[in-house]
């Protein structure tokens, strides 16, 4: 269906490879699905299928796999979903996704809640309207990260790393051994989705945090098998969903707990963007 009116929502969850196999969040008994297969016209093209659901009276917009689909660039996919989030008044955004290791101490099935990033992608300049100067200090909201940590500790008895640096590459291919070697000492994990999402979240004045689960070793660090990666995708979808729903339930909406909204300033380059 083509719905012109975008519903209000305080939260958004950008689904990644972790929840892809689970038709998130339909299997959770305490979640009420309000509408599915919502498509919206945006200035960047027709949106991916969006879903809205309710957790204890809190409304959440979600989409699958970062909005990526064939025939649409990843930059446009990101712009479409963040344009919708802005229209909906979204204040807090969570994303999840499988990542590879750069730090050789990490293993498949570890969880990480990154606190910083290194953007090695060439998807630069992905913005909505460029009205703001974006300050990327504390780009990953510390309050939302603490919510993720608390929730992960409730449901997961494996290793949880509460900080780490996420290197962003373009994909869709994995990295070469030389690329992983270059990143060593600069990043802990590597994946393809944290940027431009982190910039777009700041542009719309929303908090953003990410839950990364490790599915493979970086090339050249240790041999990994496709089978292990596949099993993690299917086995852990429910766990990741539980963690995300718990954060929706417990994140602070009333009191000010972070500075995220103040880290965008009116641009001084007004003539360029008006
Ligand atoms: Zn925040």
Please tell me the predicted confidence (pLDDT) of residue 223: 82
For the chain, the DSSP string reads -B--SPPP-SEEEE--TTTGGGTTTTT-TT-EEEEEEEB-EETTEEPPPEEEEEETTEEEEEESGGG--TTS-HHHHHHHHHHHHHHHT--EEEEEEEEEESSTT--TT-EE--SEEEE--S-TT--SS--EEEP-TT-S-HHHHHHHHHHHHHH--S-EES--EEEE---SS---HHHHHHHBTTBSEEESSHHHHHHHHHHTT-EEEEEEEEEEPPTTTS---HHHHHHHHHHSHHHHHHHHHHHHHHS-SSS----GGGGEEE-S-HHHH-
Nearest to 111 by CA among 41, 197, 214: 214
Strands 92-101 and 207-216: parallel
Q: How far is ligand 1, taken at its centre, from the CA of residue 92, in Å?
A: 7
What pLDDT is stored for residue 18 in this prediction?
A: 81
The Å distance, Cα 150 to ligand 1 centre, comes to 16
Q: How far is the CA of 175 from the centre of ligand 1 (A)?
A: 31
In degrees and rounded to multiples of 5, residue 184 shows phi and psi of -55, 135
Report the pLDDT value the prediction gives residue 236, as an integer from 0 to 100: 82
- Distance from C-alpha of 85 to C-alpha of 11, rounded to nearest angstrom: 8
Residue 257: predicted pLDDT: 96
**Ligand 1 centre distance from Cα of residue 260 (Å):** 4
User: Separation of 144 CA from ligand 1 center, angstroms?
Assistant: 6
pLDDT of residue 72: 93
**Residue 1, pLDDT score:** 47
CA of 248 to the centre of ligand 1 (A): 14
- Res 60: pLDDT: 98
Q: Which domains does the chain possess?
A: 11-273 (3.40.50.1580)
Q: How far is the CA of 259 from the centre of ligand 1 (A)?
A: 6
Say how many Å lie between the CA of residue 222 and the centre of ligand 1. 36
The closest alpha carbon to 248, from 56, 120, 41, belongs to 56
Ligand 1 centroid, distance to 4 Cα (angstroms): 29
The Å distance, Cα 90 to ligand 1 centre, comes to 12
The CA 180 to ligand 1 mean position distance, Å, reads 30
- Report CA(81)–ligand 1 centroid distance (Å): 19
Residue 55 confidence (pLDDT):
97
Give distance in angstroms: CA of 207 to centre of ligand 1: 4
Which pLDDT score, from 0 to 100, does residue 20 have?
84
Q: How far is the centre of ligand 1, averaged over its atoms, from the C-alpha of 264 (Å)?
A: 12
The tokens of 262 are what? Answer: 């103040």
Per-residue pLDDT of the chain (274 residues; tens, 9 = 90+): 455 699 999 999 999 888 888 888 998 989 999 999 999 999 999 999 999 999 999 999 999 989 899 999 999 999 999 999 999 999 999 999 999 999 999 999 999 999 999 999 987 778 998 889 999 999 999 999 999 999 999 999 999 999 999 999 998 889 999 999 999 999 999 999 999 999 999 999 999 999 999 999 999 888 888 888 888 888 888 899 999 999 999 999 999 999 999 999 988 776 666 5
pTM of the model: 0.94
Backbone φ, ψ for residue 24 (5° rounding): -55, 140
């Amino acid at each position: 269906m083509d719905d012109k009116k975008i519903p209000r929502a305080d939260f958004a969850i950008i689904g990644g490879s972790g929840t892809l196999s689970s038709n998130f969040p339909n299997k959770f008994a305490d979640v009420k699905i309000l509408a599915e297969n919502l498509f919206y016209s945006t200035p960047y093209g027709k949106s991916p299928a969006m879903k809205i659901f309710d957790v204890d009276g809190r409304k959440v917009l979600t989409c699958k796999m970062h909005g990526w689909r064939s025939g649409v660039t990843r930059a446009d996919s990101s712009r479409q979903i963040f344009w919708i989030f802005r229209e909906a008044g979204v204040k807090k955004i969570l994303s999840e996704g499988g990542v590879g290791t750069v730090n050789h101490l990490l293993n498949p099935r570890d969880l990480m809640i990154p606190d910083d990033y290194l953007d090695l992608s060439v998807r630069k300049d992905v913005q909505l309207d460029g009205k703001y100067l974006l300050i990327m200090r504390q780009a990953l909201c510390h309050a939302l990260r603490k919510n993720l940590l608390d929730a992960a500790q409730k449901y997961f008895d494996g290793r949880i790393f509460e900080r780490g640096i996420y290197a962003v590459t373009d994909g869709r291919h994995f990295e070469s051994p030389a690329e992983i070697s270059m990143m060593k000492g600069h990043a802990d994990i590597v994946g393809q989705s944290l940027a431009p999402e982190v910039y777009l979240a700041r542009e719309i004045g929303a908090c953003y945090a990410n839950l990364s689960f490790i599915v493979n070793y970086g090339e050249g660090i240790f041999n990994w098998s496709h089978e292990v990666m596949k099993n993690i995708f299917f086995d852990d979808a429910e766990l990741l969903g539980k963690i995300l729903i718990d954060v929706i339930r417990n994140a602070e909406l009333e009191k000010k707990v972070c500075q995220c909204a103040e880290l965008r300033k009116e641009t001084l380059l007004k003539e360029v963007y008006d």
